[in-house]
Structure 1
Amino acid sequence: MLIPLPIYRTAAPALMVAMASAAWAAGPLSLIDAQRIAVDRSQQLVAQGALTASAREQAVAAGQLPDPVLKFGIDNLPANGSDRGSLTRDFMTMRRIGVMQEITRSEKRQLRSERFERDAQRVQAQRQLTLAKLQRDTSLAWLDRYYTQAMRELVQQQVDESRLQMQSADSAFRTARGSQADVFAARSAVIQLEDRLSQIDRQSRNASLMLARWVGAPDAERPLSGSPPWQSHPFPSGVSSEHLKQHPELLVVSAEVDAAQTDARLAQANKQADWSVEASYAQRGPAYANMVSIGVSIPLQWNQRNRQDRELAAKLAMVDEAKARYEDTLRNHEAEVRGWLNDWQTGKDRVARYRNELIPTARQRTEAALTSYRIGKSDLTSALAARRDEIDIRAQALTLEMEAARAWAQLNFLVPAEHSMPVQARELP
């Protein structure tokens, strides 16, 4: 069956786009890709963006004068007697219409507008904090899955080698060149490694489930590519107080300090009352003159000591509270950052020691034990024990690298990353 040319021209590009999208979805998932997907999926960022827009809209409204009040009514309408209900016979009856306007001083209006601007800044800082936490948590989930897969590759390699050793021991026993104890030892080593593999598979599934929390189940099942540059220093120029103050959590508290100070200035401004002006026109009966009224209303702050002054004192106390919380947050954050930095530096040194010293030594010991077994100077149990020790050292090196990488992620995503990070090929110990 031939497809009409117009339909083919329309369907072909759409099919190519769908195939390209499917190919991308099935491709490797890098750390940067995982973070971008997590950001795109986050509804909390959308909600905080809406809150920011709301606060800024309110800031504009708060800077305006209050709406004028239209007033109309009937004054002095007779309620009894011969003129009861008449709008024109009694000279005091008036049909009145007027307008009243509260004159809020410009300083107050500016402070009210500024207060909402401070709210917008606080929500924006909270959005940056959410973004930083999102990138950090996504990185930690990605790292957990990355290193559990690396651990699985290591153990799977040892399982394959142990199976070959088991076959070799079984063959040697059948030809009377080996003992049955060597066969049982080889089988026991394979069973233990397979059990360890099952445990790692459980950890890998849990890591995938946690990663799916951020990127979704389909993307969490994609193979991983590359590894983060965890050996690069998170703070090339060192840890400074100014750098720490850029952390979004501190920016949130700083915005709360600014908001509290604005509230205090507004409370101070409220000690001066706002006036209201009113003008009205009253119509009476045809035999009487119409009336015009003009008035001013002034609130009497007769108890400032127990009202306005106490409101101001309360706002000033909130300023002190916000400042103290900022200082405490800064100290806590500095201690936390220096702890992560120490964990990263120590982990980096230990991983280097494992790679350069412990793993080569363990490998040489294993080779020596296997050579000794092949020439009949030792049993297979000693060779398997040396091999098991080497696996444990390699696994410890991977665990140390994962802990150092996690500390690096905590440090590297203190503030939201706006640029792509370099990716290096994965290097197994």
Structure 2
Amino acid sequence: MFIPKSAGRLSRLPRCCAAMLLALTSGVGTAFAEPLSFEDALAIAVNETPALRAESAGIAAARQTAIPAGALPDPKLVLGIDNLPIEGPDRFSLTRDGMTMQRIGVMQEFPNGAKRDARVAAAQGRVALGEAQTRITRLAVLRETAVAWIARDAVERQLARIDALDSENRLFDAAVRARLAGGKGSALDAVASRQEAAMIDARRDELNARRQQAIAALKRWVGPRAEAPLTGAVPDWPIARGTLTHALHAHPELAVFDPKGRVLDAEVAEARAEKKPDWALELAYQKRGAQFGDMAMVQVSFDLPVFAATRQDPKIAARLAEREGLDAEREAVLREHAAMLETDFADYQRLVSAVKRQREVLLPLAGEKVDLALASWRGGKGELTDLAMARRERIDAELMAIALEGERRQMAARLHYAYSEHAYSEPTVSGEKQ
């Protein structure tokens, strides 16, 4: 059977397309597999988190609103007919009576200067308030991103230790089998290594579930990059009680009360300015019949705030009460954050001590216990169950050491991004170490 050469070339096309598709998909996979460092995670969160984009849009809106805050009201076009007769032979005539005029004019209202200045101050205060609230949101984003990254890093360190335990378990199983083959030990000893392997698998399943939860938490802040492998380490922030307490008064959640106060002060000033009269100017051209001369009109009107006791004064009192309440609210927030700082710092000190004790005391003791139990078992004086129990305790101690270090780092991140003056002064995060 004759097969044309062109048919052979055509048959290779699907394979070429498949190769190209494989190359493209592998390239996409490589792009998503780019490691995610701690600094990269913070930079992505700050630049891409929807909450911060929403805050930025709110600030832009406040700035646009501030532009016309002190402007005069729009002028008004006035159209009318004055002195139109409705009875007699000249009724409804626009030209026969000398007093009948067709009027076109413009009127401009002029709010008093104090009121306009107060509106400008209030608008500027709202812009500053939006910026202060953005700083609060930004620190919250940094804090939660840091905590999520550290949580995933700690879980993956535990998983790495669990994977290393597999090889140790195989050696343990081989030693037990060799001892049984030599006629030593009991049939129950063969179960110990398999029980340990099952326990390791159960721990791995638990840690894998926690890893997926940590990735989900991180994905809230960095999006799809949360799936990428982690790289690098967490900065070693200086956590000193005196420094944190000193920076407490500059906390963004306290700083936000300054622009809030400026807005209320401006509203108080505007309420007081309502006691001063506004005025308006009207200019009009009045056209009469051809036999009469046209006329012009100039008119000035003034507001008369003569009922201040029932109008302006209650508004002023209400704004002053709000201002007093704001001062009390600031004091309450200050006390709340001072208590939170004391609580969190005490917890941080506890974790520092726990990490040190776990690594310097409990972990070495667990290793020593395994060595003693192993020597006793090999010498025929100890039970395999004692050795298996000692090995489980060492596994627990190793995983606990990693978990405690992760908790310590998370608490350090919370303290740094809640009370550190350095964190307040960072305008952006662009990937550099802090």
Same fold (TM over 0.5): yes
- 1:339 positional shift: 1.7
Residue type of the alignment partner of 2:257: V
Partner of 2:3: none
- 1:220 positional shift: 1.3
What is the CA–CA distance in structure 2 between the aligned matches of 1:211 and 1:143, rounded to whole Å? 10
The 5 A counterparts of 1:96-111 are 96-111=103-118
Of 134, 154, 159 in structure 1, the residue corresponding to residue 166 of structure 2 is 159
The 5 A counterparts of 1:320-335 are 320-335=324-339
Partner of 2:9: none
Task: Check if 1:66 corresponds to 2:86.
Answer: no
Question: TM-score w.r.t. structure 1 length?
Answer: 0.88
What is the CA–CA distance in structure 1 between the aligned matches of 2:316 and 2:86, rounded to whole Å? 49
Equivalent position SS for 2:104 = strand
Task: Check if 1:270 corresponds to 2:277.
Answer: no
**Structure 1: gaps of 5 or more residues:** 1-17, 424-429
Partner of 2:120: 113
1:410-429: CA deviations, max 9, x gaps? 11112454455649xxxxxx
1:42-86: CA deviations, max 9, x gaps? 122222212212212222211112222221221122334432332
Task: Check if 1:95 corresponds to 2:99.
Answer: no
- 1:224 positional shift: 0.9
Whether contact under 8 Å (2:114, 2:269) holds in the other structure is no
- 1:265 positional shift: 1.4
Whether contact under 8 Å (2:281, 2:300) holds in the other structure is yes
Equivalent position SS for 1:297 = strand
Task: Check if 1:201 corresponds to 2:205.
Answer: no
Residues 237 and 333 of structure 1, relative CA distance in 2, 3 Å threshold: closer
- 1:341 positional shift: 1.7
Q: Which moved more, 1:88-97 or 1:252-261?
A: 252-261
- 1:264 positional shift: 0.9
What is the CA–CA distance in structure 1 between the aligned matches of 2:216 and 2:53, rounded to whole Å? 24
What is the CA–CA distance in structure 2 between the aligned matches of 1:235 and 1:87, rounded to whole Å? 88
Equivalent position SS for 2:67 = helix
Amino-acid identity (%): 34
Of 387, 392, 399 in structure 2, the residue corresponding to residue 388 of structure 1 is 392
Partner of 1:220: 226
Residues 155 and 22 of structure 1, relative CA distance in 2, 3 Å threshold: closer
The 5 A counterparts of 1:357-376 are 357-376=361-380
Q: CA RMSD in A?
A: 2.4
Partner of 2:318: 314
Partner of 1:54: 61
Question: TM-score w.r.t. structure 2 length?
Answer: 0.87
Of 2, 6, 26 in structure 1, the residue corresponding to residue 33 of structure 2 is 26
Partner of 2:131: 124
What is the CA–CA distance in structure 2 between the aligned matches of 1:199 and 1:19, rounded to whole Å? 31
- 1:19 positional shift: 9.7
1:2-29: CA deviations, max 9, x gaps? xxxxxxxxxxxxxxxx999875542221
Residue type of the alignment partner of 2:182: T
What is the CA–CA distance in structure 1 between the aligned matches of 2:365 and 2:133, rounded to whole Å? 50
Task: Check if 1:184 corresponds to 2:188.
Answer: no
Whether contact under 8 Å (1:52, 1:124) holds in the other structure is yes
1:154-198: CA deviations, max 9, x gaps? 222223312321232123223323321211122112212211211
Partner of 1:7: none
What is the CA–CA distance in structure 2 between the aligned matches of 1:197 and 1:22, rounded to whole Å? 26
Equivalent position SS for 2:106 = strand
What is the CA–CA distance in structure 2 between the aligned matches of 1:371 and 1:421, rounded to whole Å? 51
What is the CA–CA distance in structure 1 between the aligned matches of 2:275 and 2:203, rounded to whole Å? 73
**Structure 2: gaps of 5 or more residues:** 1-24
Task: Check if 1:82 corresponds to 2:86.
Answer: no
What is the CA–CA distance in structure 2 between the aligned matches of 1:92 and 1:197, rounded to whole Å? 100
Residues 24 and 349 of structure 1, relative CA distance in 2, 3 Å threshold: farther
Residue type of the alignment partner of 2:219: A
Task: Check if 1:210 corresponds to 2:214.
Answer: no
Whether contact under 8 Å (1:159, 1:194) holds in the other structure is no
What is the CA–CA distance in structure 2 between the aligned matches of 1:134 and 1:21, rounded to whole Å? 28
What is the CA–CA distance in structure 1 between the aligned matches of 2:88 and 2:60, rounded to whole Å? 62
The 5 A counterparts of 1:342-353 are 342-353=346-357
Equivalent position SS for 2:230 = coil
Residue type of the alignment partner of 2:118: L
What is the CA–CA distance in structure 2 between the aligned matches of 1:248 and 1:324, rounded to whole Å? 17
1:192-250: CA deviations, max 9, x gaps? 22112111111111111111121123x112111122134x3234862334x21322222
What is the CA–CA distance in structure 2 between the aligned matches of 1:66 and 1:269, rounded to whole Å? 17
- 1:119 positional shift: 0.7
Residue type of the alignment partner of 2:230: L
- 1:133 positional shift: 0.8
